[in-house]
Chain A
Amino acid sequence: MAASSRAQVLDLYRAMLRESKRFSAYNYRTYAVRRIRDAFRENKNVKDPVEIQTLVNKAKRDLGIIRRQCPLSSGIKSHAQGLQQRQHAVGPGCAVWKGCGMEEPSPKIMGHLNL
């Protein structure tokens, strides 16, 4: 099997973020998005193709988990957790996820991926 290309890794990253945003539970959603971003960033300088493939395989498995779990957590209706709208102004951290959020991964982060 050919080693994963830069484009494939980017696709995987985008797909994972896209699927993660569908978690209806605030805590799961924010965790998934944050963890994926931090994990890809942490491993951006990995050069060894075997190690890269291992990481990619793990990411694919995690993508499968996200795909299976998202509909489960939104299929069960419950009161949402969160803050009263009037009492909380959207802080800088929240602004990232307004609108379409991270559909396009930041070119600055991806520019560092060196495969």
Chain B
Amino acid sequence: MLLRAAWRRAAVAVTAAPGPKPAAPTRGLRLRVGDHAPQSAVPADTAAAPEAGPVLRPLYMDVQATTPLDPRVLDAMLPYLINYYGNPHSRTHAYGWESEAAMERARQQVASLIGADPREIIFTSGATESNNIAIKELEAAIQPDTSLVSVMTVNNEIGVKQPIAEIGRICSSRKVYFHTDAAQAVGKIPLDVNDMKIDLMSISGHKIYGPKGVGAIYIRRRPRVRVEALQSGGGQERGMRSGTVPTPLVVGLGAACEVAQQEMEYDHKRISKLSERLIQNIMKSLPDVVMNGDPEHHYPGCINLSFAYVEGESLLMALKDVALSSGSACTSASLEPSYVLRAIGTDEDLAHSSIRFGIGRFTTEEEVDYTVEKCIQHVKRLREMSPLWEMVQDGIDLKSIKWTQH
């Protein structure tokens, strides 16, 4: 009781920062403007910087890359970042006990989302670490009749849903371990590790409106799946992942999982509607647009479109008011198009023109409409400038052209 009151006082003190009082938020998408660079509530110097004029950040349409924290998640985490700072492995005092209780509650929340037992959840630093633990198991136990199948539940580039239940059934009948990286799927589509016969599953916090730097791995107990620890130390997490469990982060992950379980149906319905809207509106206004990925088995929140005769990077740069990503790895040093698009047989030229639109829990209809409008406008403009487009309009078949060598 005293602790909670103290936390409330501390929270109020932290947020009561002196400085220019923000104007009342304006409505719709015409937002008020922050005139300072991001800073903490503790003022460094209180002199207000002179305003050049409104500076707005882009709309966020890249939820496959990462998601914002849900306010309910931050609310759950805060006490453990302020007053409840005990080490959950401390056995001898209340700080440790309350931290451990929070950790176990979070474990239950994660387990409940995927139909697992809490003893089967090990906290890690993210899905990447979980994937490494799962794969290492294969190296550790390599025998003629042991192998591992590892499949992404929902692809992060084109949003395709893999037939997990069927794969699980096949693996189980052949006595082969089945691992799935469910980072993009957990909390968005219903998953049950027993129905789908999953032996290992990777979970990522920051893909489901939870904090970054935390994840979990699900490791089946019945029949027992043996894994080898990646990092050794004090034997925490049943010896499978040593290191102090970061209570605030795992509480955030647990809260994110609980919120996801409650909101899954509502979010899915809404995201499907917005996804339909985006695709229909783009396709009815622009010719030669291809959606990558099987439309039947597709998660609606991840839309990958290829705009023929337009280069993906130039479209991304033109859409500077919207935070997007292209499906290809153009932004990296290599100019190779995405391996996913190549694997599904996309033509080279279409693979270079792909853009990934991400729709999430917080995406609004207005944001989708704005994105569609800008996308149509810029694709038309870029096509006007494109000699390839001109040739296509004149009826020339591009595949018949013999490009001269220099």
Contacts and interface: CB of A to CB of B under 8 A. Distances in A.
A98 interface: yes
Given A77-B34, A83-B321, A69 B25 contact: no
A93 B38 CA distance: 30
A78 interface: yes
A82 B38 contact: no
A81 interface: yes
A69 B36 CA distance: 21
Contacts of B361: 31
Interface string A23-57: 11011111110010010000000000000000000
A74 B137 CA distance: 46
A84 B56 contact: yes
A90 B27 CA distance: 9
B72 interface: yes
Nearest to B374: A87
B75 A68 contact: yes
A105 interface: no
A82 B58 CA distance: 6
B30 A29 contact: no
A81 B27 contact: no
B170 interface: no
Interface string B10-41: 01101111010010010111111111111111
Main secondary structure of the interface of B (DSSP, over half): loop
A81 to B, nearest CB: 5
Nearest to A39: B266
A97 B31 CA distance: 12
Interface string B239-270: 00000000000000000000000000010000
B97 interface: no
Interface residues of B, number: 47
A85 B60 contact: no
Interface residues of A, number: 44
B362 A27 contact: yes
Interface string B60-73: 10000000100110
A94 interface: yes
A98 to B, nearest CB: 5
A45 B192 CA distance: 32
Contacts of B146: none
Contacts of B364: 26-27, 30, 93
Nearest to A27: B362
Contact of B15 (A30, A66, A72): A72
Nearest to A99: B27
A62 to B, nearest CB: 8
A81 B30 CA distance: 9
Interface in A57-111: 62, 65-66, 68-69, 71-85, 87-88, 90-91, 93-95, 97-99, 101
B366 interface: yes
Which of B40, B41, B321, B366 has the largest count of A CB atoms less than 10 A from its CB?
A: B366
A21 to B, nearest CB: 7
Given A30-B364, A79-B34, A80-B33, A68 B56 contact: no
Contacts of B189: none
The 3 A-B pairs with the shortest beta carbon distances in the complex, nearest first, are A94-B28, A97-B27, A82-B31
